Structure 1
Amino acid sequence: MSKKIHADATSALSGLLRDGLLIAAGGFGLCGIPELLIAAIRDSGVKDLTVASNNAGVDGFGLGVLLETRQVRKMISSYVGENAEFMRQYLSGELELEFNPQGTLAERMRAGGAGIPGFYTKTGVGTVIAEGKEHHDFDGETYILERGIVADLAIVKAWKADPSGNLVFRKTARNFNVPAATCGKVCVAEVEEIVPLGALDPDTIHLPGIYVHRIVQGPHEKRIEQRTTRKKEAV
């Protein structure tokens, strides 16, 4: 089980990267993003990537660094704000974008991880989201078919792990990390702390180690996406 632990992000991704990969990435904005693994993917030089992620980080950080180096061919996302380069590439036709409602994207990942090839949802009916998709009526209501996502590689960020790969996430940093992890054929997790086997209460484990193939521990910047402050009031 200790063979899952790697010394750094580069070794954790060794043998897994190639051009044209479909990657599922955890995170929401800059919260809970696998920043070390993203940097290692950038440094590897692989290209023509398709990345399924709620968004693409910000300019110069998170998945935004892969857009700057033109390593991403297509994004499967629900939000393109906060990243000027993302918007520029999309509007100029340099980047393919498959828009997904946020809940639909989460369920597509979850379904793929559960072995469910597709599901019907009312979300998006009557909009451009529904164009080209199968429609079906259930009890007088129209639904569209969405396909589950099965990624070649999943990259996620967790708070704690044990040597067997059991993961615990920190509050809202759990976000898309669990469904992203489960839908990957191979899942690599970066964590803040690795604890001894048996140190985690089984009731607190958010993702069982059977889904996690490799682990790397390292320092994280955990940048704040939008810092909002107010002036100190005079006493």
Structure 2
Amino acid sequence: MIDKTTTAENALAKLKDGATIMVGGFGVPGTPFHLIQTVLSTGVRTLTLIKNEANEAGLGVSLLLEAERVERLVTSHLGLNQVAIRMMNEKALKVDFFPQGILADKIRAGGAGLLAIVTDIGINTFLRREEDVVTVNGCEGMIEPALRADFALIHAAKADRAGNLVFEKSARNFNPLMATAADIVIVEAEQIVETGSIPPDQVHTPASFVDHVVPIGELSQEYGVLQHHVR
């Protein structure tokens, strides 16, 4: 029987300086705080992070920013993190902004094996990039390259030992997409059950996308609003 459970340290053993990491979550829900702390403890630097936002100062991926471990952040917004905004303005952090839906679709495309998507979002604004403008069926659009990563760090409410995943409500957010778009997918799970105990039609992400499953144990304070009963 396949058993992908391991420690966070073992799961991240191949992490190197300069890696690109996708991190699930939208604010607190779905953010893999345990795995982020382990990345911090490895001492790796010059990372590229892909995350919907930068969490709040002193929390989640902001800890990596504040420790100067991150060179580039690919994101949708920084409005909740004044530290990240200051670092960007001081050019201590490179930030690539994308509308949230475009960011999600770039990740989806990476997971589907596509090279890029074409979108008219931003075509008539200052976001227009002339070198990327194409015409499709008489309409102008911009080419947006797909996104992939070396690692994806995912939070799940439940996982079996083979890596089949169940997400809880809004904590699903970017996690299923990112689980398809990285070379090594590491999942932290609140509850780990025996393989076969999750009914197939309740699986949100199949085990074929998952490389490692890390038990969280008791939820720490960072998880806050995620205190819930996992069915």
Fold equivalence (TM over 0.5): yes
1:34 to 28, 32, 35: 32
Count of residues in Structure 1 that have an aligned counterpart in Structure 2: 223
- Take 2:8 and 2:54, find their aligned partners in 1: how far apart are those partners? 20
Kept in 2: contact 1:100–1:129 (CA 8 A): no
Alignment partner of 1:10 is 2:42: no
Picking from 96, 100, 104, the partner of 1:98 is: 96
Deviation digits for residues 87-142 of structure 1, max 9, x if unmatched? Answer: 01001111000111100110111110110010101112123333255111223321
1:11-48 residue CA offsets vs partner (Å, 9 max, x unmatched) = 2212x210000111110011110101100000111000
Aligned partner of 1:56 in structure 2 is 54
Q: What is the identity percentage for the equivalent residue pairs of Structure 1 and Structure 2?
A: 37
Give the AA of the match of 2:9: T
1:152 is displaced (CA, Å) by 0.6
Gaps of 5+ in 2: 227-231
- CA RMSD of superposed structures (Å): 1.5
Aligned equivalents of 1:56 and 1:132: distance in 2? 29
Please state how far the C-alpha of 1:77 moved relative to its aligned partner.
Answer: 0.2
Residue 149 (1) aligns with residue 150 (2): no
Deviations 1:166-209 (A, max 9, x none): 10000100000011111001100000001111110111111011
Q: Measure, in 2, the Cα distance between the counterparts of 1:50 and 1:115.
A: 21
Contact 2:55 2:80 in 1 (8 A): yes
Which of 188, 193, 206 is the matching residue for 2:191? 193
Q: What is aligned with 2:64? A: 66
TM-superposed CA distance for 1:224, in Å, is 4.8
Is contact 1:36-1:220 (8 Å) kept?
no
Q: Which runs of at least 4 in structure 1 moved beyond 3 Å after TM superposition? A: none
Match of 1:122 in 2: 120
* Matched AA of 2:194: P
Residue 9 of structure 1 and its aligned partner are, at CA, apart by 1.7
8 A contact 2:129–2:142 mirrored in 1: no
TM-score, scaled relative to structure 1: 0.91
Contact 1:133-1:145 at 8 Å conserved across structures: no
Q: Deviation digits for residues 193-231 of structure 1, max 9, x if unmatched? A: 011111101111110111000000113231359xxxxxx
After TM superposition, the structure 1 stretch with the greater mean CA deviation from structure 2, 216-225 or 154-163, is 216-225
Tell me, in whole angstroms, the C-alpha distance in 2 between the residues paired with 1:101 and 1:124: 9
Find the counterpart in structure 1 of residue 209 from structure 2.
Answer: 211
What amino acid sits opposite 1:157 in the alignment?
H
Counterpart-to-counterpart distance in 1, 2:162 and 2:225: 31
- 1:49 maps to a residue whose letter is L
What secondary structure is seen at the aligned counterpart in 2 of 1:182? coil
Name the CA distance, whole Å, in 1 between partners of 2:128 and 2:219: 39
SS, match of residue 164 in structure 1: coil
Q: Which of 25, 44, 47 is 2:45 aligned to?
A: 47
Structure 1: tracts of 5 or more residues without a match: 226-235
| TM-score w.r.t. length of structure 2 | 0.92
